[in-house]
């Protein structure tokens, strides 16, 4: 849709009310036993299992792909009567260099490969280079592209520049879904987060995503609330459903439950499915599997027994 500056100028965030809202979540929402196991299994199907390190290798990526195919031990799934459900993670997320290897390793699984792009994580490469990087990843088989916006556009209020940039990224992605990484920890205020969310959705983002995982502050429930309410506002106004992806620092099973509760309460049950909800994480899956083992056996195992990389 065209950039609507009137909508942007009317956008506000009540910080104290938002803080009260997220502060009450842990006390008001608690699930145990079978219900908790069910929520955690749903979370597994929404994980973008990620490796974005400078020492990544093709071998590491292929091991990660093997884990994506079988994210939870078969004996645990069988004990929960879930062994025949074909549970996999939502996607694998890698640098462009490893897209082709990941596509090959996931052949026949139905698991998409997501590539971080556009000068990830800082997003300061020349614009034409960013577009070529997107096109190269799509050509190698990436079904999803996680782009990073230019934070300067937000910090200086240059909404037209942000809109134009995001629109170009959307076009370069072609058939691939595009997730717009806002790097919320760099945007200073919740109002900036809310406005950047709206602009990216207006310009065609399929998902809005909190962070690269490389900022000092990454996903938080407070930022999540601000972004989810913009998704709801956009859906109410246009009828278009935009997905949400928190990323960075989400490593404990109890933490992802908070994000799931917020998704359900703010947007509804439909937004808990992997086509509208993804979690950018590398070590979260290991803790979820530990919690599921405790649910089945009553015992906690060592974290290193559930390594995914």
Question: Which residues have a catalytic role annotated?
Answer: 146, 209, 245
Q: 309 in helix, strand or coil? A: coil
Q: State how far the alpha carbon of 209 is from the alpha carbons of 6, 8, 20, 174, 193, in Å.
A: 24, 19, 23, 19, 11
Name the token pair of 207.
């998902």
- Nearest-CA neighbor of 149 among 215, 65, 54, 97? 215
For residue 92, list its beta bridge partners: 49, 113
- Which residues contact residue 182 at a Cβ distance below 8 angstroms, ignoring those fewer than 6 apart? 149, 154, 193, 196, 197, 200, 208, 209, 210, 211, 227
Name the DSSP letter for residue 96: G
Q: State how far the alpha carbon of 248 is from the alpha carbons of 147, 183, 216, 261, in Å.
A: 15, 10, 10, 18
Name the token pair of 155.
């910090």
Ranges of H-type helices in 174-307:
190-202, 221-238, 253-267, 284-297
Rounded-to-integer distance, Cα 219 and Cα 283, Å: 15
Name the token pair of 93.
């997320």
- Which residues contact residue 46 at a Cβ distance below 8 angstroms, ignoring those fewer than 6 apart? 90, 272, 273, 274, 277, 278, 279
- Nearest-CA neighbor of 142 among 59, 214, 48? 48
For residue 144, list its beta bridge partners: 114, 177
């Amino acid at each position: 849709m065209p950039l609507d500056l009137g909508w942007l100028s009317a956008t506000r965030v009540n910080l104290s009310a938002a803080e009260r809202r997220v502060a009450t979540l842990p006390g008001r929402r608690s699930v145990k036993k079978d219900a908790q196991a069910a929520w955690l299994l749903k979370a597994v199907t929404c994980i973008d299992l990620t490796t974005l390190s400078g020492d990544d290798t093709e071998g590491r990526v292929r091991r990660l792909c093997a884990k994506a195919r079988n994210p939870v031990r078969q004996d645990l799934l069988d004990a929960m009567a879930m062994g025949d459900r074909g549970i996999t993670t939502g996607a694998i997320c890698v640098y462009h260099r490893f897209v082709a290897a990941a596509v090959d390793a996931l052949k026949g699984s139905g698991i998409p490969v997501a590539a971080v792009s556009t000068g990830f994580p800082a997003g300061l490469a020349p614009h034409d280079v960013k577009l070529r990087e997107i096109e190269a990843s799509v050509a190698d088989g990436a079904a999803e592209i996680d782009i990073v916006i230019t934070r300067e556009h937000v910090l200086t209020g240059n909404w037209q520049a942000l809109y134009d940039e995001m629109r170009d990224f959307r076009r370069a992605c072609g058939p691939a879904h595009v997730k717009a990484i806002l790097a919320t920890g760099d945007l200073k205020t919740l109002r900036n987060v809310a406005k950047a969310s709206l602009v990216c959705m207006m310009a065609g983002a399929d998902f809005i995503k909190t962070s690269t995982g490389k900022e000092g502050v990454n996903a938080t429930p407070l930022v999540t609330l601000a972004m989810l309410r913009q998704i709801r506002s956009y859906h109410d106004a246009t009828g278009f459903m935009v997905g949400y992806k928190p990323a960075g620092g989400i490593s404990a099973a109890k933490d992802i439950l908070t994000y799931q509760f917020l998704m359900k309460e703010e947007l509804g049950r439909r937004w808990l499915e992997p086509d509208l909800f993804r979690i950018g994480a590398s070590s979260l899956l290991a803790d979820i599997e530990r919690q599921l083992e405790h649910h089945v056996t009553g015992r906690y195992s060592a974290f290193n027994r559930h390594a995914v990389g």
